[in-house]
Amino acid sequence: MLEEYLRHFVRGTQKDWVKLLDVAQLYFNAQKSSSTNKSAFEIVTGQQPLLPHTLASPQSVRSPLARSFSQEWKQNVDIARSCLEKAQKRMKKYADQNRRFIEFSAGDLVMVKVPDPRLSKSLRGEILG
Protein backbone atom coordinates (compact mmCIF):
# COMPACT_ATOMS: atom_id res chain seq x y z
CA MET A 1 0.00 0.00 0.00
CA LEU A 2 2.89 2.39 0.69
CA GLU A 3 4.08 2.02 -2.91
CA GLU A 4 0.59 2.85 -4.20
CA TYR A 5 0.40 5.80 -1.83
CA LEU A 6 3.76 7.18 -2.98
CA ARG A 7 2.72 6.85 -6.62
CA HIS A 8 -0.16 9.23 -5.92
CA PHE A 9 1.93 11.56 -3.78
CA VAL A 10 4.99 11.96 -6.02
CA ARG A 11 4.76 12.93 -9.67
CA GLY A 12 7.47 12.08 -12.20
CA THR A 13 8.13 15.70 -13.14
CA GLN A 14 8.31 16.87 -9.55
CA LYS A 15 11.71 18.24 -8.47
CA ASP A 16 11.15 18.59 -4.71
CA TRP A 17 9.77 15.11 -3.97
CA VAL A 18 12.68 14.10 -1.73
CA LYS A 19 11.82 16.73 0.89
CA LEU A 20 8.18 15.62 0.81
CA LEU A 21 8.99 12.00 1.71
CA ASP A 22 9.44 12.83 5.40
CA VAL A 23 6.00 14.40 5.49
CA ALA A 24 4.54 11.44 3.60
CA GLN A 25 6.14 8.92 5.96
CA LEU A 26 5.08 10.80 9.08
CA TYR A 27 1.52 11.21 7.86
CA PHE A 28 1.39 7.57 6.72
CA ASN A 29 2.38 6.49 10.26
CA ALA A 30 -0.05 9.00 11.82
CA GLN A 31 -3.01 7.77 9.72
CA LYS A 32 -5.53 5.75 11.76
CA SER A 33 -6.17 2.19 10.64
CA SER A 34 -9.77 1.23 9.98
CA SER A 35 -9.31 -2.08 11.80
CA THR A 36 -7.64 -0.82 15.01
CA ASN A 37 -8.82 2.80 14.92
CA LYS A 38 -5.27 3.73 15.95
CA SER A 39 -2.27 4.91 13.99
CA ALA A 40 1.01 2.99 13.81
CA PHE A 41 2.60 5.89 15.68
CA GLU A 42 -0.05 5.68 18.41
CA ILE A 43 0.34 1.90 18.76
CA VAL A 44 4.12 2.22 19.22
CA THR A 45 4.25 5.36 21.39
CA GLY A 46 0.80 5.41 22.98
CA GLN A 47 -0.04 8.88 21.65
CA GLN A 48 -0.70 10.72 18.42
CA PRO A 49 2.21 12.82 17.08
CA LEU A 50 2.11 16.58 17.43
CA LEU A 51 2.31 17.89 13.89
CA PRO A 52 3.43 21.47 13.18
CA HIS A 53 0.11 22.53 11.70
CA THR A 54 -1.81 21.29 14.75
CA LEU A 55 0.27 23.13 17.37
CA ALA A 56 -0.77 26.68 16.55
CA SER A 57 -2.90 28.44 14.03
CA PRO A 58 -0.87 30.38 11.44
CA GLN A 59 -2.47 33.65 12.59
CA SER A 60 -1.16 33.26 16.16
CA VAL A 61 2.44 32.67 15.03
CA ARG A 62 4.47 35.89 14.99
CA SER A 63 7.49 34.67 13.04
CA PRO A 64 6.93 34.84 9.26
CA LEU A 65 9.31 31.91 8.75
CA ALA A 66 7.45 29.75 11.28
CA ARG A 67 4.11 30.76 9.75
CA SER A 68 5.36 29.87 6.28
CA PHE A 69 6.69 26.52 7.53
CA SER A 70 3.39 25.71 9.23
CA GLN A 71 1.36 26.60 6.15
CA GLU A 72 3.64 24.60 3.84
CA TRP A 73 3.49 21.62 6.21
CA LYS A 74 -0.32 21.80 6.29
CA GLN A 75 -0.45 21.86 2.47
CA ASN A 76 1.82 18.83 2.28
CA VAL A 77 -0.24 16.99 4.91
CA ASP A 78 -3.42 17.74 2.95
CA ILE A 79 -1.78 16.36 -0.21
CA ALA A 80 -0.59 13.29 1.72
CA ARG A 81 -4.06 12.74 3.21
CA SER A 82 -5.82 12.87 -0.15
CA CYS A 83 -3.23 10.58 -1.76
CA LEU A 84 -3.51 8.09 1.08
CA GLU A 85 -7.30 8.06 0.78
CA LYS A 86 -7.01 7.42 -2.99
CA ALA A 87 -4.59 4.56 -2.37
CA GLN A 88 -6.85 3.04 0.31
CA LYS A 89 -9.90 3.20 -1.96
CA ARG A 90 -8.02 1.61 -4.84
CA MET A 91 -6.61 -1.19 -2.65
CA LYS A 92 -10.09 -1.84 -1.18
CA LYS A 93 -11.59 -1.99 -4.67
CA TYR A 94 -9.11 -4.67 -5.77
CA ALA A 95 -9.40 -6.60 -2.49
CA ASP A 96 -13.21 -6.62 -2.70
CA GLN A 97 -13.17 -8.06 -6.24
CA ASN A 98 -12.16 -11.49 -4.91
CA ARG A 99 -14.31 -11.44 -1.78
CA ARG A 100 -17.62 -13.18 -1.51
CA PHE A 101 -20.12 -13.16 1.30
CA ILE A 102 -20.90 -16.62 2.64
CA GLU A 103 -23.42 -17.15 5.40
CA PHE A 104 -23.35 -20.25 7.58
CA SER A 105 -26.11 -21.68 9.74
CA ALA A 106 -25.83 -23.58 12.99
CA GLY A 107 -25.03 -27.21 12.21
CA ASP A 108 -23.27 -26.54 8.88
CA LEU A 109 -20.02 -28.41 8.37
CA VAL A 110 -17.14 -26.04 7.71
CA MET A 111 -13.38 -26.41 7.41
CA VAL A 112 -11.34 -24.41 9.90
CA LYS A 113 -7.63 -23.76 9.49
CA VAL A 114 -5.88 -24.00 12.86
CA PRO A 115 -2.11 -23.45 12.87
CA ASP A 116 0.04 -26.11 14.50
CA PRO A 117 1.80 -24.41 17.42
CA ARG A 118 4.77 -26.77 17.03
CA LEU A 119 5.59 -25.42 13.56
CA SER A 120 7.87 -22.46 13.12
CA LYS A 121 6.15 -19.14 12.45
CA SER A 122 7.23 -19.16 8.81
CA LEU A 123 5.44 -22.48 8.16
CA ARG A 124 2.24 -21.82 10.12
CA GLY A 125 0.57 -19.89 7.32
CA GLU A 126 1.07 -22.57 4.69
CA ILE A 127 -1.16 -25.57 4.16
CA LEU A 128 0.97 -28.68 4.30
CA GLY A 129 0.17 -32.04 2.81
Note the pLDDT tens digit of each residue in 13-22.
Answer: 667 767 777 7
Please tell me whether the overall predicted TM-score, pTM, comes out greater than 0.75 for this model.
Answer: no
The string of pLDDT tens digits covering residues 65-86 is 877 877 777 787 788 778 878 8
CA-based nearest residue to 35, from 110, 95, 125: 95
**Torsions phi, psi for 39 (to 5 deg):** -85, 160
* Secondary structure tally for the chain: helices H, strands E: 6, 0
Domain coordinates in residue numbering, the chain: 2-124
The string of pLDDT tens digits covering residues 114-125 is 776 676 666 555
